[in-house]
Amino acid sequence: MREIKEKLKNISKYLKIKYNDKWFKYNWISKEENVKLEYMWMCPDPIFAKYGRSPQERAKNVEKFLLSDGFKKCLHQFGGQVINKDTFKKYFLDWINNIKNIQIKEDYLKIYKKILNKLNKSSTIAILTKTNKKQEKNELKNNVLLHEWIHILINKNNLRFSYNIKDEWKYNEGLVTFLQELAKGKIDKLEENAKRASYDFQKQYYIYAIRFKELLKKVDNPKERKEKIINLKNSLLK
């Protein structure tokens, strides 16, 4: 954890933004819980989006999703996500109350209560998938956690791109991926990673990371880097 937090501190210096050690917490949930959470928490991945582009549509089609090959495929994957307590409490319960199947709704209520319990002592938390595989655990602790904690760092400094922006997730994931690879000293690999990515959804992370690389490559002043990002945010809102 110390190495990851050192990387976060370096990012905060790179952009001249605030850093607080207390912001960064994480916890574990099962892979199945994580997939179900991603689905109803409106992850834009096409594997979920095909069942709805609104919470109401996803609630209506949740049974179809849980019976799909896509769901079974997701159960073999590992990853993470960030949950903000205020946003989660404000929206998630309303969204899952649209689910008609009583058993599925009960399962989602258990996930809801479990996440809230993990958020008792924190306003924001990174959620990681449990695994018994050593390789997956190493990837989760070294790369996935860094990625999710950069999301928290960006969110806490109001650098998150607004939901009102078209394809806002691409800008947010692009910025976080750029900063992640920068912290690891690997931004020269972004173009290669974009070419190698076989899944278009993941490919977008690198494509938009390259945009931030281009945006900031000639900017040496940390304050100006931050201003460049803010100006991009504001221009996309017009």
| Strand order across the beta sheet in which 124-129 lies | 26-29, 124-129, 80-84
Query: Would 192 be classed as within a structural domain?
Result: no
Query: Would 164 be classed as within a structural domain?
Result: no
> Number of structural domains, the chain?
1
Instruction: Tell me which residue range forms the domain holding 64.
Output: 21-133
- Please give the chain's pLDDT, 238 residues, in tens: 799 999 999 999 999 999 999 999 999 999 999 999 999 999 999 999 999 999 999 999 999 999 999 999 999 999 999 999 999 999 999 999 999 999 999 999 999 999 999 998 889 999 999 999 999 999 998 899 999 999 999 999 999 999 888 899 999 999 999 999 999 999 999 999 999 999 999 999 999 999 999 999 999 999 999 999 999 999 998 6
**In this structure, what token pair is assigned to residue 141?**
């602790």
Q: How many alpha carbons lie under 13 Å from residue 11 in its C-beta half-sphere?
A: 29
Q: CA torsion 220→234→85→29, rounded to 10°?
A: -60
Query: Would 58 be classed as within a structural domain?
Result: yes
Q: Which residues pair with 124 in a beta bridge?
A: 84
SS3 at position 73: helix
Q: How many alpha carbons lie under 13 Å from residue 127 in its C-beta half-sphere?
A: 26
pLDDT at 238: 66
Non-local (6+) Cβ contacts of 155 within 8 A are 82, 84, 124
Query: Would 117 be classed as within a structural domain?
Result: yes
Query: Would 106 be classed as within a structural domain?
Result: yes
Query: Would 197 be classed as within a structural domain?
Result: no
Question: Using CA atoms, how far apart are residues 141 and 74, in angstroms rounded to an integer?
Answer: 20
Query: Would 129 be classed as within a structural domain?
Result: yes
Query: Would 26 be classed as within a structural domain?
Result: yes
